[in-house]
Structure formats: C-alpha cells, structure tokens
C-alpha cells in the first residue's frame, strides 16, 4: 500500500479564502433580513425569512476545506468523489476552480481507475463508503476529509450495533450518498447487517415481519438492494438498532423508531426489550433547527412559502414537505425558477422532477415566507428576494438596505 496523506481538519488557511468565499456566497439582502428580525417590507410585499436557514456548520466547513485545498495545492490535480453538497451552484463553482468530479455530472467513465499517488481527493460532507476509502488509500491519494461531524456520529452508532450483533435499521434513502456510506460501516465488523427503510410504509412491512414472521423471499424482493448481502429476515430482525440519514424529517424518524420498538415489545415482551432493540436520535442539530424554524414561521399568516435549494437535497425536500401541509409552497433551486409574476418552475412535494406552475404570486398584498436548505448559500436566497421585488417594480437599489 502506498503511503497516504490524510487531512481531516483543513489546512488553517481560512484567512486566505475568506475574501473569495464572501465574493461567491455573501448576500446584502440576507444580512439585512438577519439584522431586522428576519423581515423585509417593500411596497405591499413582506418577506419573512426563517430564523434558521441555509448553510449549516457542516456545509460551511466542507466548502471552506474545498477552497483551502485549492489554495494549498495550486499545482496538483484535485478531485472530489461526488457532489460536495447538494447544491448545483456550489458544485459548479468547484468545477470552475479546477476540481474534477469522480462521480456524477461530467465525470469520466474511468476517473476512479486513473487516480494515483500525488492526486488530491476531497471527501464530501456526506462521507464515502468503506470500500471507496480503502480504494483511495490503496492508491496513495492525498485525502482531504470534509465528512460532517453529525454523519460521523451516526457511523459510531452503526459500528457499535454491528459489533454487538444488532442489525442497523437505517431510516433514509438508499440511493443517497450519506446512507450508502453509513450502511457500509456495518462491514467493519464480521457479520454486520443493515436494512434501509425509506418511510413509514416500508417500516410497516418490517414491523409485520417482526411480529408474525412471513415470506422471506417476498420481503427481500421488496427491500433489495437496500439491505446487506445475505440478509436473512428471520435471523437479522431479531436484534435491531435504529439509525437515520441525518437530513430526514425528524418527526418521521421518531415514528419509525417507535413502531419498531412496539413491534419488539409485542414479539418478545417489554422485559426483554433491551436485548432486541436500541435507538439513538441521530438527526443532526442543524436539520432539526431548520425544521423547527419553519414550524415557527408557519404559525404566521403567510400567503405562500418559497423553499430554496437543490432538488436532490434531502433536507430541503423535507422543509418543503413540512410547509406544504400549511400553505402554498414552491420548492425552487434558484431565482431563475421565478420566470415572471405569473409563472414558476418548481418541484412539487414527493415528485422527482420540476413542473411549470402558474398564479403563484398574489397580485396584491402578500406575506412571503422563505427558507433554504442547509446546502443553499446566502446569495441564492438574496437573488430570489430581488427577483420577486423586480416583478413588483421595486428595484433592490432603491431599498434602504444599508
């Protein structure tokens, strides 16, 4: 194995990149909103920004490290295993900085096989699988690890489950980079197993099997490939430890855990529960804070909600899901989705692709709620506000933003 340099804490170059970060992501409008009780009034429009929004600590850290890496290795070939976060503008900015992607849009088919010693590889905030990490170390690449601390916390629990003979039941989306990385941690202990459930409907299939047993073949056909190799339901659902993708809807993760707990009590009795069930709340604090802030904002008299963030961002989708239960809600990637005062391109809740909507902006007085996922930079939020103001003939330069 070739020696590998491993950097999990950046390079201490924050002072050298601060100017570029501010130029790329700062928003004067957002700064005004934050200093004025998250409110901006202009004409007959009122904008109300959720008190927790946009870049979280983990995302800030990941983006900082990527910029630091470019500064630290100006002449080296730089790669990243996949999207550093789920925001198309941030990922495009990294491409413009000469950082090449090993997976996803624009990645070469043989990108992984051509890596070698001397290449610098950034590991994204979601983390990478055990297999990917092993491959990169074998190649002797220099590794800059931006994996979020909240994700690392989930990994510790999953590894503990595997060590103690518990199957990790993960509430998440199996095709999400974070969930795949988390599931792979079970392989660090011999016999480690995992099963990924996406929602309460799939959870019911699991609780039914725990309580009554059933057709293992049918069960596996439903859950493949979201379970470990050789998964044996009658054996591997006897002892279960709960974990979750950190960006899932908190209330749903709690319901998943409670339904599994009750099924274990029904099957084995409450005195034996600790031998069959474990659970730790591993929703990240930033995800929880943003969901709580949306909940508070929805208590106000809003005309509509704009949720800004990548369409493939799990935490952004869940913010839209929460808001849509109370008020007309439009999940948009950026200001370009606001075509005019009548037309909007947005992704409806639980749909995979955006659609063209009409009549989104009321013609008179309106209170517009705004939030943004944890991977959305401030400048994209400010651009959305500016775009709406333009539709009402209120150029941002004429507003007293200081």
Q: What percent of the chain has pLDDT over 70?
A: 98
What are the pLDDT digits (tens) for 297-356?
Answer: 999 999 999 999 999 999 999 999 999 999 999 999 999 999 999 999 999 999 999 999
Instruction: Select from 3.40.50.720, 3.40.50.11270, 3.50.50.60, 3.10.310.70 the CATH code of 58-148.
Output: 3.40.50.11270
Phi, psi of 297 (to 5 degrees): -65, -35
Give the Cα separation of 32 and 27 in Å (integer). Answer: 9
Pairing of strands 194-197, 366-372: unpaired
DSSP state of 338: B
pLDDT class of 402 with cuts at 50, 70, 90: low
CATH no., domain 150-282: 3.40.1010.20
Q: Where in the chain is the domain with CATH 3.40.1010.20?
A: 36-56+286-395, 150-282
Burial of 94 per CB tally in 10 Å (0-12, 13-18, 19+): buried
Task: Please enumerate, as own/partner, the contacts of 350-355 that have beta carbons within 8 Å and a separation of 24 or more.
Answer: 350/321, 354/311
Q: What is the mean pLDDT of the chain?
A: 95
The topology under which CATH files domain 36-56+286-395 is Cobalt-precorrin-4 Transmethylase; domain 1 (3.40.1010)
**Segment (H or E) for 346:** strand 343-346
Q: Where in the chain is the domain with CATH 3.40.50.11270?
A: 58-148
pTM of the predicted protein model: 0.93
Active site residues: 178
Pairing of strands 240-244, 277-279: parallel
Q: Find the mean pLDDT for residues 15-35.
A: 96
What are the pLDDT digits (tens) for 133-164?
Answer: 999 999 999 999 999 999 999 999 999 999 99
**Stronger pLDDT, 110 or 259, i.e. the higher one:** 259
What are the pLDDT digits (tens) for 68-81?
Answer: 999 999 999 999 99
């Amino acid at each position: 194995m070739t020696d590998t340099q491993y950097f999990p804490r950046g390079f201490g170059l924050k002072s050298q990149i601060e100017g570029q970060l501010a130029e790329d992501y700062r928003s004067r409008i957002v700064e005004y909103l934050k200093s004025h009780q998250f409110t901006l009034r202009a004409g007959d429009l009122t904008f109300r920004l959720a008190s927790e929004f946009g870049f979280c600590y983990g995302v800030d850290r990941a983006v900082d490290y990527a910029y630091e890496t470019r500064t630290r290795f100006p002449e080296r070939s730089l790669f990243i295993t996949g999207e550093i976060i789920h925001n198309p503008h941030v990922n495009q900015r990294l491409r413009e900085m000469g950082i090449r992607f090993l997976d996803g849009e624009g990645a070469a088919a043989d990108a992984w096989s051509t890596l070698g010693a001397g290449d610098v590889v950034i590991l994204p905030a979601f983390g990478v699988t055990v297999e990917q990490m092993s491959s990169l170390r074998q190649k002797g690449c220099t590794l800059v690890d931006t994996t979020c601390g909240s994700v690392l916390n989930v990994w510790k629990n999953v590894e503990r489950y595997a060590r103690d003979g518990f199957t990790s039941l993960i509430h998440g989306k199996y095709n999400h980079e974070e969930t795949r990385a988390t599931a792979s941690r079970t392989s660090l202990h011999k016999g480690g197993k995992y099963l990924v459930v996406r929602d309460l409907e799939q959870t019911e299939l699991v609780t039914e099997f725990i309580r009554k047993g059933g057709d293992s073949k049918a069960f596996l056909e439903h859950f493949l490939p979201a379970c470990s190799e050789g998964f044996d339901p009658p054996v591997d659902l006897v002892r279960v430890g709960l974990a979750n993708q950190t960006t899932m809807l908190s209330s749903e993760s709690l319901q998943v855990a409670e339904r599994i707990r009750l099924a274990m009590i029904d099957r084995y009795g409450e005195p034996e529960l600790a031998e069959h069930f474990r659970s730790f709340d591993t929703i990240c604090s930033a995800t929880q804070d943003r969901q709580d802030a949306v909940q508070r904002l929805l208590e106000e008299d809003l005309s509509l909600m704009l949720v800004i963030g990548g369409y493939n961002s799990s935490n952004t989708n869940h913010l839209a899901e929460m808001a849509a239960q109370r008020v007309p809600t439009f999940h948009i990637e950026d200001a370009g989705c606001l075509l005019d005062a009548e037309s909007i391109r947005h992704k409806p809740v639980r749909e995979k692709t955006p659609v063209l909507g009409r009549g989104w902006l009321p013609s008179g007085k309106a209170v517009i709620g705004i939030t943004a996922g944890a991977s959305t930079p401030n400048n994209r939020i400010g651009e959305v506000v500016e775009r709406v103001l333009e539709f009402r003939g209120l150029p941002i330069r004429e507003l007293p933003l200081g």
